[in-house]
Amino acid sequence: MEGLLRQPEWRIIDQSAVGIHFQATQSFGTDDTLCASVGTGNAPATARTWVHHNTVVLGIQDTKLPFLQEGIDYLKQEGYQSIVRNSGGLAVVLDEGVLNISLIFPEAEKGIDINRGYDAMWDLIRRMFADFPQTIEAREIVGSYCPGSYDLSIGGKKFAGISQRRLKKGVAVQIYLCINGSGKARAELVKQFYQRAKKEEPTKFEYPQIVPEVMASLSELLGTHFTIGDVMLRLLNQLKSNSDYLVAGQLNEYELSLFPGYYQRVVERNEKIADR
């Protein structure tokens, strides 16, 4: 785990402040671009941080819900746009209280085992909040939205979920961290979405039965109000301690040339859903 976090150089692309001004589709196109760039040796290991205004990010399975449009219409009424991402999982909520972190690693000759990628992110988050006595666990929290074996929780309440994206010998390990605000309210939003998009219709895929009480924000769980900036500082300190060089940057020229193609793929995927 430490070996994966330890990199000769970490480049940080911080879009946590500007991210609310662009679409989440651009974020997923950016992570694909970074995978291709880091994986082919055109950039060092990269950590990208991003925040988006009221957006529900759907997984591929969510697009198969029998009454999907009714669910999307409900989200729109509540002030949330919806997009479909290109990595695994199910619906998650993004807003100004949710910090997303993507760690993009170059895949070694032997490759990075999928659990090793998850463990590296879990280890990073534990280190970031090591000054608190609470234990951060990684296990599925039944009743949460987008449940998975690497749900991060404290006292049985989930505050984060991890996913992975692999492309061109690059591995993007992505996490959403509910920093502040009400985790229960976010879960209630997704619960209402599923109730409208699925209703009582039988489906081949089993969608989560959401129990809002099993979700919370880090501020709620640790009894301390955190801002996005507070958590960014903790992240930067950890990356600095795990590298010889920590550099701030943006997309390089090679990445800028790749981005339109990867972004277009995300847009086309979403257009196909809209046309259904």
pTM: 0.94
- Rounded CA-CA distance 267/91 in Å is 18
Averaging pLDDT over each range in 145-149, 161-165, 215-219, which range is the top one? 215-219
Q: What is the pLDDT of residue 38?
A: 95
Q: Tens of pLDDT along 250-262?
A: 999 999 999 999 9
pLDDT tens per residue across span 56-80: 999 989 999 999 999 999 999 999 9
Pairing mode, strands 55-58 and 92-94: antiparallel
According to DSSP, residue 18 is labeled T
In this structure, are residues 2 and 38 in contact, taking their beta carbons and an 8 Å threshold? no
The residues, any chain, with a CB within 8 Å of residue 38's CB and separated by 6 or more, are 44, 45, 46, 104, 105, 106, 170
pLDDT exceeds cutoff 60 at 2:
no
Of 91, 146, 173, 177, the active-site residue reads 146
- Least-confidence region, from 34-38, 47-51, 83-87, 182-186: 83-87
Supply the pLDDT for residue 128.
97
Structural contact between residues 145 and 163, judged by C-beta atoms closer than 8 angstroms: no
**In the predicted model, is pLDDT for residue 206 greater than 50?**
yes
DSSP state of 79: T
Q: Cα Rg for the chain, rounded, in angstroms?
A: 18
- Check: CB of residue 176 under 8 Å from CB of residue 125: no
Compute, in degrees rounded to 10, the torsion defined by CA atoms 85, 166, 143, 96.
-50
- Label residue 276 by pLDDT band (50, 70, 90): low
pLDDT over 90 for what percent of the chain?
Answer: 79
What pLDDT is attached to residue 1?
A: 42
Q: Is 178 one of the catalytic residues?
A: no
Give percent of the chain with pLDDT exceeding 70. 96
Query: Which architecture, in CATH terms, is 2-274?
Result: 2-Layer Sandwich (3.30)
**CA angle, residues 47, 134, 157, in degrees to nearest 5:** 80
